[in-house]
Amino acid sequence: AQSVTQPDIHITVSEGASLELRCNYSYGATPYLFWYVQSPGQGLQLLLKYFSGDTLVQGIKGFEAEFKRSQSSFNLRKPSVHWSDAAEYFCAVGATGRRALTFGSGTRLQVQP
Amino acid sequence: ETGVTQSPTHLIKTRGQQVTLRCSSQSGHNTVSWYQQALGQGPQFIFQYYREEENGRGNFPPRFSGLQFPNYSSELNVNALELDDSALYLCASSLGSWTEAYEQYFGPGTRLTVT
């Protein structure tokens, strides 16, 4: 069965600083990988996705993620964080067959002025 | 393009009661998935419907059931509510083709509180 680990429960960065959120997955085949963002009390917004091809994928709001098969990782990055980026971030992997998403437990991002 | 909508926004029920949550898919999408998100956790897959048929189910008991209608809207029904059913219930829609089915767009959720 597939699983997703987000090692960092809570991260605090200063506005304008760079950001990297870690995601490790466990899956036997080529994974479909996603990053979602959730503001308090809201649903999930898709930031970016990886199906195949170029291992560096660009998303919305200036985010990017890099798929590294050798490390089973799909880390999310942003060169300069804005106060509006404060939210919960979820990494997810697609499960073959039922086409469901398996989510990590999330990383809460706090942005200091 | 209309996004995914869910109703109601909030709901308070008593243990043992039954509840129905509703979801309207994003325009053009024929697949609906439901997830349960407990406080402080990531969403957990409940089940998925594709063209009115259940297309996969997560580790949830049979008292969680669903429907999908010809217009691809969907309902989640939960019978015999338990306190642990208190959570944010998220609906997501996608296209039914292979890779596109994984690209799921979520609604704002229904917050269910069971007392």
Whether A53 has its CB under 8 Å from any CB of chain B: the answer is: no
Instruction: Provide the shortest C-alpha distance from residue B104 to chain A (in Å).
Output: 8
* Chain segment B76-110, per-residue pLDDT in tens: 999 999 999 999 999 999 987 677 888 999 999 99
Nearest to B25 by CA among B71, B73, B68, B70: B73
B45 interface with A at CB cutoff 8 Å: yes
Q: Which chain A residue is nearest to residue B95, measuring alpha carbons?
A: A99
What lies within 8 Å, CB to CB, of A6 at 6+ separation is A21, A22, A23, A24, A89, A90, A91, A104, A105, A106, A107
Closest chain B CA to residue A103 = B42
Nearest by CB: B108 against A42, A90, A92: A42
pLDDT tens sequence across A64-101: 999 999 999 999 999 999 999 999 999 999 976 667 89
User: Which residue is closest to A6 within chain B, CA to CA?
Assistant: B42
Q: Which of A45-49, A53-57, B93-97 has the lowest mean pLDDT?
A: B93-97
**Which residue among A43, A46, A103 places its CB closest to the CB of B107?**
A43
Could you report the per-residue pLDDT of B73-84, keeping only the tens digit for each?
999 999 999 999
- Interface check for A17 against chain B (CB to CB < 8 A): the answer is no
CB contact, 8 Å: B30 with chain A?
no
**Cβ–Cβ contact A5 with B under 8 A:** no
